[in-house]
Amino acid sequence: MATVNRERLAELLERERGEHRRRTSASRAAFEAADHLLGRVPMTWMNKWSGGYPLYLAQAHGNRVVDIDGNEYVDFALGDTGSMAGHSPEATVAAVTKRIGVDGGITTMMPSLDAEWVAAELTRRFGLPLWSFSLTATDANRWALRIARMVTGRPKVMAFSYCYHGSVDETFVIMGPEGTTLPRGGNVGPAVPVSQTTRVAEFNDIASVEAGLAHGDVAVLVMEPALTNIGIVLPEPGFLEACRELCTRYGTLLLIDETHTISAGPGGCTAAWGLQPDIFVIGKSIGGGIPTGAYGITDEVAAAVRAHAEADLVDVGGVGGTLAGNVLSTAAMRATLGEVLTEAAFAHMVELATSFRVGVEQTLERYEVPWSIAQLGARAEYRFVAPAPRNGSESAAAHDDELEEYLHLFMSNRGVLMTPFHNMALMCPVTKRVDVDLHTELFARAVADLMGA
């Protein structure tokens, strides 16, 4: 197996940083002039882009992005899934333009006829009969956790080490020695220590799930069916079924968050793998880029909610928000689900992601590089370790800032954008085979340069 020569990597990184600065001087100038923004960006995460400053957006259509220096990119980042439907998809743009420009009423605290259509479509895709909307998947998770605590009368949540479910306090956990719950590094101002709210488990380790649930104080196990926020970690055979069975046995609700894993298909992993969540959360992609989120619950959970006559779901009980479920986002979801993220679109996206994965695998084999790539439907991600990590802690240990920056800049300097938080590539309905082929060729060149081949 070949190992990475760190000196060579440092040289290549300097070369790519120099090229990045040369190509993106307008973006750099805009960043340096942004004196009134915290971290010089409208949202602090935008500083995650490689190269020291973000590319500033001029235009984005389909899977193409143009920055303010006039550079065009094939976009495999797609807003880290928010634009999985492609940038400004025609049907979504037409629906929201009609809604806000012709019919009017962006936010009124009144429903339109779109909401029931969307909820029925979510039921058709994911199975849960009752839905409520938020503006982000973060909020959908937060509200769902409240509901779970109320209906079970239990105080705690279980989450997997290195999971991510949005900025949800209870989920910023990693596993410490002997299964202890530790806060993830850098947690900003938690209200209470996370060990008070959460029991941690390790993905693909059913014994750790059982050990936590056996305490009898866990209201809900919140999980992605495959981890997607610490690389992609796929479930091993039987793991998801065992989680369902243990939740039932210990009286814990199962919350499946498919905000990213909808990449598996039109009904996410839930439909593809026959999962049976009590609560389901989704967001990002289903509004075609317009802010939205949703949670769905079973009839049993709904009955338990109704049994709590004291629970204030229609005012300030901690669930809901004035902008949530607005007619702009429901119009966007109707168009996106109805016309853009269709079964045919998924078939195309999954086929391309498969080619993407195979292209990367061929290069890894050719140069005997000890990395791995995992695919979940329309998304694929490489990780600097082989075999592929089995859980969040193993995957976190494989992180390599310098390698990641080198590959990101190598790609962006040649017109390809990867997701800044990951080495992730997502296909959208208008991604083309030539776009994937371009990545395959660039990845081979980047690795050849690195290995001195």
Ligand X SMILES: Cc1ncc(COP(=O)(O)O)c(C=O)c1O
The enclosing H or E element of 115 equals helix 114-126
SS3 state of residue 287:
helix
User: Nearer Cβ to ligand X, position 73 or 164?
Assistant: 164
- Containing 65, the helix (H) or strand (E) segment is strand 64-67
Residues that bind ligand X (CB under 6 A): 80, 136-138, 141, 164-166, 224, 229, 257, 259-260, 283-284
Backbone angles phi, psi at 210, to 5 degrees: -65, -40
Which residue, 244 or 284, is less far from ligand X as judged by CB?
Answer: 284
CA 252-255-261 angle, to 5 degrees, is 150
Helix then strand count (H, E) for the chain reads 15, 16
Contact 237, 173 (CB under 8 A): no
108 class by beta-carbon count within 10 Å (0-12 exposed, 13-18 middle, 19+ buried): exposed
Q: How far, in Å, CA of 406 to CA of 445, rounded?
A: 12
- Cβ nearer to ligand X, comparing 83 with 197: 83
Least distance in Å: CB of 312 to ligand X? 24
3-state helix, strand, coil in the chain (%, to 5): 45, 15, 40
Give CA–CA dist 39/53, Å, rounded.
10
Which ranges constitute the DSSP H helices of 290-430?
Answer: 299-306, 327-335, 343-366, 392-397, 401-412
Sequence-distant contacts of 184-190: CB under 8 A, at least 24 apart: none
Least separation, in Å, of the C-beta of 163 and ligand X? 8
Report in angstroms how near the CB of residue 400 gets to ligand X at its nearest: 21
Pairing label, strands 253-257, 218-223: parallel
* Least distance (Å) between residue 260 CB and ligand X: 5
Q: In this structure, what token pair is assigned to residue 62?
A: 């389909």
Give 164 or 443: the residue with its C-beta nearer to ligand X: 164
Question: Which residue, 164 or 346, is less far from ligand X as judged by CB?
Answer: 164
Nearer to ligand X, 232 or 340 (CB): 232
Taking the mean position of all CA atoms in its chain, how far away is CA 397?
A: 20
| Least spacing, CB of residue 160 vs ligand X, in Å | 11
Q: Please, which residue, 125 or 165, has the CB nearer to ligand X?
A: 165
**Cross-strand pairs, 174:** 182
- Which is nearer to ligand X, 337 or 436 (by Cβ)? 337
CA distances, 248 to each of 221, 252, 384 (Å): 11, 6, 37
Q: How far is the CB of 229 from ligand X (least distance, A)?
A: 5
Comparison of 24 and 92: residue with beta carbon closer to ligand X: 92
In the complex, the smallest distance separating the C-beta of residue 190 from ligand X, rounded to whole angstroms, is 18
Q: How far is the CB of 282 from ligand X (least distance, A)?
A: 8
d(C-alpha 231, C-alpha 220), whole Å: 24
Q: Is the dihedral of CA 308, 309, 313, 318 positive or negative?
A: negative
Query: Between 80 and 202, whose beta carbon lies closer to ligand X?
Result: 80
Closest distance to ligand X from the beta carbon of 137 (Å) = 3
- On the 0-12 / 13-18 / 19+ scale of CB atoms within 10 A, 85 is buried
Q: How far is the CB of 364 from ligand X (least distance, A)?
A: 26
Residue least distant from ligand X (Cβ): 166
Q: How far is the CB of 441 from ligand X (least distance, A)?
A: 29
Closer residue to ligand X in complex, CB, 67/257? 257
Nearest to 224 by CA among 293, 150, 280, 143: 280
